[in-house]
Structure 1
């Protein structure tokens, strides 16, 4: 299996991940009912986010922490939600990629998830 090396790899990863997320019994509701994301807007932002994180191409502009703090005010984000997000992310990465950047994708998601969980729980 290839490693993550291009924007196209990021797009594949993000697309396959969100295909699972939107139908997931634990976290799907956040994307389909709580926020009702405009996928044509959200998905390219996620491409930019992960391209910035993994390929050091600084194309993402935004603050994911504030978005998730706002989301938590609409519907409480719990530990199980963060765990499920990470489980699906790791599964998607490992299904499609192998190599140092793929491992970095998993490690960075764990770091981001931990920080986000902490900030959401301690917001206010």
Structure 2
């Protein structure tokens, strides 16, 4: 599919989110982590992601919450975030072109870097706490 327009509606966000997560679920590297964590709650997860991206990109405040805590204990490393970002970028580029598509990729990159940093931080803090007991 050739990119034809920018992200501009909730339907565009649903297309992006659904296409991205269908690829994630089938990915040999990160798919098992997502599928184990989410289990049969994919519809709820996708709904949350629609709201998250709609809030960020379209400034329609349909998401509330804190995105990091559910990810804090995931067994992931920088390589997992790199793969997540690779799939996100490929998916976005295959569907859309324009400033909001670019914004989505930038926000995803910043989020992946922040989540990776925070997960490492908490792991190291827990290790240091355990070592001092």
- TM-score after normalising by structure 2: 0.86
Contact 1:4 1:102 in 2 (8 A): yes
> Moved runs in structure 1, 4+ residues, more than 4 A?
none
- Unaligned 5+ residue runs, structure 2? 126-133
1:83 corresponding residue in structure 2 = 82
How many residues are paired up? 120
1:68 corresponding residue in structure 2 = 71
1:52 corresponding residue in structure 2 = 55
Q: What is the alpha-carbon distance in structure 2 between the residues aligned to residue 62 and residue 90 of structure 1?
A: 25
Question: Larger radius of gyration, structure 1 or 2?
Answer: 2
Question: Superposition pairs for residues 1-124 of structure 1, below 5 Å?
Answer: 1-70=4-73, 72=74, 76-123=75-122, 124=125
- TM-score after normalising by structure 1: 0.92
Q: Give the aligned CA root-mean-square deviation in angstroms.
A: 1.1
Q: Secondary structure at the match of 2:64?
A: coil
- Unaligned 5+ residue runs, structure 1? none
